[in-house]
Amino acid sequence: MELISDSDDGDTSEWETDEDDGDERPPLNPPLPSASVAGPSQKVSEASSSRPDLVLHFMAMGFSEDMVVKAIEENGEGNTEAILETLLTHSAIGISPLKREQSPVDCTLSSDEDVLGDDLSDMSNFEYSSEDEEYTVECSDKDRKLSILIDMGFPADEASSAITRCGPTAPVLEIADSIHAAQLAAESALTEDDLFPSWSEDKPMASYACGSSVKNKRKYYEMKKMNERGCFLDRKKACFRQANMGDGFPSGSSIPKPMIGFSLPNQKMKPVNRMLPEAAIGPPYFYYENVALAPKGVWETISRFLYDIEPEFVDSKFFCAANRKRGYVHNLPIQNRFPLQPLPPRTVQEALPMTKKWWPTWDHRTQLNCLQTCIASAKLTERIRSALVNSEDPPPERVQRFVMNECKKWNLVWVGLHKVAPLEPDEMEMLLGFPRDHTRGGGISRTERYRSLGNSFQVDTVAYHLSVLKEMFPNGINLLSLFSGIGGAEVALNRLGIHLRNVVSVELSEINRNIIRGWWEQTNQTGNLIEIADVQHLNGDKLEQMINMFGGFDLVIGGSPCNNLAGSNRYSRDGLEGKESALFYDYFRILDLVKNIMGKSF
């Protein structure tokens, strides 16, 4: 998975929610009613007694006989749910199954192209031939589903992203479920009756469906899916109640300035008396990290899912020579923390003393901005050099302004007279608290090193928070590391002198897994390292097996991808609905499973 810059720059954005009507939903397993079921009575009374009960049942909902018959032929008589979905879907796009066969949906989009961006607007530039037949069929199917989803009330960009995520062959309802699975931030805008209706098994389906819209059907499917994930349903109901009762993370609260967290090394601060909610108390301890300047509502949602713990927002500029604004949700003690020794440099010129000779007096930077996953081009650094060479000394204000804007944006440092350059990977490793050459070798390119480092923890910051574990686990720790990246948590614990007894590292990138494995071997770790590639493949059975093997996990740590949260992402900053950042819910899913399994076993 290719990750983008996790720069914190950019203000938070407001994200609107899609409010649905609060009509009743059909029961999960509705009984099939007879022909006398109440519905649009006129249509039922006009129906011929020779018609099958199944046809009459759906005609009672207001569907035409032709549509019903064709939908039954498509799905079979035994699958009433699929029949209903077919009817609702074709009602949404305004055609019947019969018309669909005669007039396929047009693949062109028109007004939606501007909303969807380059992914679909470029389609018109292709000249299709017989060689493109397979692509044409896929395009047509994708855009037909896109049109359906838009008519169902989904935003065009979310629908397009979900189709890409689920695949062009996925059913419309599966895609709709995918869109809604991450839209949990909207729960506070709904009433509890909307989210948790009192379905009655003895009510006929028609009494629910006559007034229901496609949006209500979509919400019904969301709740059905949540019911199948028992812990998610319970958690969402609790989130709703706390959001409306004023408990937990306060709605609309702002990120503190400066971001100093609950304490800083060697600085006297007002003591914080933190009371954890009962559900948050371990075992295990857990620690979650992500970018602080996320879209509006993201941290409220993260807090509610992680047992209503108030986030601790910290800027790494208090720990090293680079800014890195992050939020941390954890149930660790906050007293008796201590920093890693030796303390890292806090200014650029202390961290990179070779640059001091060339640093101009008009560059007043003492610290770098957030370290990113990409660097400035050689063309840019040459433009800066040319601008300075052709200017007076000192250069005019407009030149200074141009140079400083680019230096701040790309973290350029002075390496010679009139010469700036990006940070080298080993310099980034040092600033982030990793050992020298941590990401070097093993066939890893410079580009891959920058990408991996830009998405990592700042080790000194994380180690300060984890330092409380040293006295608590003198014999070592069992660690479940989710979204391990290049092993920031493992490096932090090792530098604290905490023995890594058993580490289960879950990381999708093979490059990052190689980096962790190389570090594990080079530092002569004596514990057990278990590697798992995909966090979505980590289920309850595997967790229970490992918990029984190790005797439980002491710490569950991780920072899910920030791709759809970071301020630098101007194209898919979709919050927790985004393809990558929605993996936060897997962090919660796994943590909740671990807590439940350990609660039963110990």
**The most confident of 233-247, 269-283, 432-446, by mean pLDDT:** 432-446
Q: Once rounded to an integer, what is the mean pLDDT over residues 131-160?
A: 62
Band the pLDDT of 10: cuts 50, 70, 90.
very low
CA atoms 505, 509, 513, 516: torsion sign: negative
Of 510 and 12, more confident: 510
Choice among 173-182, 395-404, 576-585 with the minimum mean pLDDT: 173-182
The reported pLDDT for the residue numbered 4 is: 41
Q: Which one, of 350, 313, 253, lies nearest residue 461 by Cα?
A: 313
The reported pLDDT for the residue numbered 96 is: 43
Peptide bond into 342 cis (omega under 30): yes
DSSP state string for 219-235: HHHHHHHHHHSHHHHHH
Of 180 and 17, more confident: 180
- Is the pLDDT confidence value at 228 over 70? no
Residue 261 lies in a domain: no
Residue 558 lies in a domain: no
Percent of the chain topping pLDDT 70? 67
pLDDT digits (tens, 9 = 90+) for 49-97: 445 778 887 776 667 888 888 888 888 877 776 787 677 666 654 544 4
The count of other CB atoms within 10 Å of the CB of residue 215 is: 17
Q: Could you tell me the CA-to-CA distances from 393 to 359, 396, 397, 399 in Å, in that order?
A: 13, 8, 11, 11
Residue 359 lies in a domain: yes
3-state secondary structure (DSSP) of residue 70: helix
Instruction: Note the Cα 8 to chain centre separation in Å.
Output: 16
Contact 243, 252 (CB under 8 A): no
Q: Which one, of 484, 496, 371, 376, lies nearest residue 431 by Cα?
A: 371
The reported pLDDT for the residue numbered 569 is: 58
With tokens 């899609």, the residue in question is 18
Q: Which one, of 495, 474, 585, lies nearest residue 593 by Cα?
A: 585
Tokens encoding 88: 């609702």
Contact partners, residue 515, CB within 8 Å, separation at least 6? 438, 439, 442, 444, 452, 486, 487
Q: Which one, of 583, 548, 545, lies nearest residue 563 by Cα?
A: 583
The reported pLDDT for the residue numbered 522 is: 95
Peptide bond into 394 cis (omega under 30): yes
The reported pLDDT for the residue numbered 464 is: 97
The reported pLDDT for the residue numbered 66 is: 84
- Is the pLDDT confidence value at 378 over 70? yes
The reported pLDDT for the residue numbered 140 is: 57
Q: Once rounded to an integer, what is the mean pLDDT over residues 353-368?
A: 95
Counted domains in the chain = 2
How far is residue 205's CA from residue 37's CA, in Å, rounded to a whole number?
9
Torsion of CA 339, 340, 346, 348, to 10 degrees: -160
Could you list the beta-strand ranges (E) of 167-299. 285-291
Q: Where does a domain end: 27, 61, 92?
A: 92
How far is residue 70's CA from residue 78's CA, in Å, rounded to a whole number?
14
Domain region containing 379: 348-432
Residue 245 lies in a domain: no
Q: Where does a domain end: 397, 414, 432?
A: 432
Q: Where does a domain end: 416, 432, 448?
A: 432
Q: Once rounded to an integer, what is the mean pLDDT over residues 123-143?
A: 41
Residue 427 lies in a domain: yes
How far is residue 17's CA from residue 297's CA, in Å, rounded to a whole number?
11
The domain that contains 60 carries what CATH number? 1.10.8
Instruction: For residue 210, indicate whether it is catalytic.
Output: no
- Is the pLDDT confidence value at 230 over 70? no
Contact 578, 572 (CB under 8 A): yes
Contact 309, 276 (CB under 8 A): yes
Phi, psi (deg, nearest 5) at residue 501: -70, -55
How far is residue 313's CA from residue 336's CA, in Å, rounded to a whole number?
19
Percent of the chain topping pLDDT 90? 48
How far is residue 233's CA from residue 229's CA, in Å, rounded to a whole number?
7
Specify the long-range contacts of residues 344-349, CB closer than 8 Å, at least 24 apart: 344/319, 344/320, 344/430, 344/431, 344/433, 344/460, 345/320, 345/321, 346/317, 346/320, 346/321, 347/321, 348/321, 348/413
- Is the pLDDT confidence value at 124 over 50? no
Contact 552, 601 (CB under 8 A): yes
The reported pLDDT for the residue numbered 83 is: 80
Tokens encoding 352: 């990179």
Q: Could you tell me the CA-to-CA distances from 529 to 108, 121, 198, 271 in Å, in that order?
A: 52, 47, 48, 38
Could you list the beta-strand ranges (E) of 264-374. 285-291, 312-315, 325-330
Buried/exposed 464-503: b ≥16 CB within 10 Å, e otherwise = bbbbbbeeebeeebbbbbbbbbbbbbbbbbbbbebebbbb
- Is the pLDDT confidence value at 330 over 80? yes
Specify the long-range contacts of residues 53-56, CB closer than 8 Å, at least 24 apart: 54/80, 54/83
The reported pLDDT for the residue numbered 221 is: 46
pLDDT digits (tens, 9 = 90+) for 172-225: 767 776 776 645 434 434 333 443 343 333 333 333 333 334 444 444 444 444
The reported pLDDT for the residue numbered 32 is: 41
Tokens encoding 74: 């498509």
* Mean of all residue pLDDT scores within the chain: 75
User: Parallel, antiparallel, or unpaired for β 528-532 and 500-506?
Assistant: parallel
3-state secondary structure (DSSP) of residue 204: coil
How far is residue 126's CA from residue 278's CA, in Å, rounded to a whole number?
58
pLDDT digits (tens, 9 = 90+) for 297-329: 899 999 999 999 999 999 999 999 999 999 999
Could you list the beta-strand ranges (E) of 44-133. none
Among 166, 239, 320, 562, the active-site one is: 562
Residue 581 lies in a domain: no
Band the pLDDT of 442: cuts 50, 70, 90.
confident
Of 115 and 258, more confident: 258
The reported pLDDT for the residue numbered 329 is: 96
Q: Which one, of 131, 205, 136, 141, lies nearest residue 175 by Cα?
A: 141
The reported pLDDT for the residue numbered 51 is: 56
Q: Once rounded to an integer, what is the mean pLDDT over residues 466-487?
A: 96
Contact partners, residue 34, CB within 8 Å, separation at least 6? 53
The count of other CB atoms within 10 Å of the CB of residue 387 is: 18
Model-level pTM? 0.61
Phi, psi (deg, nearest 5) at residue 327: -110, 140
Q: Which one, of 338, 344, 341, 334, lies nearest residue 270 by Cα?
A: 334
Of 187 and 279, more confident: 279
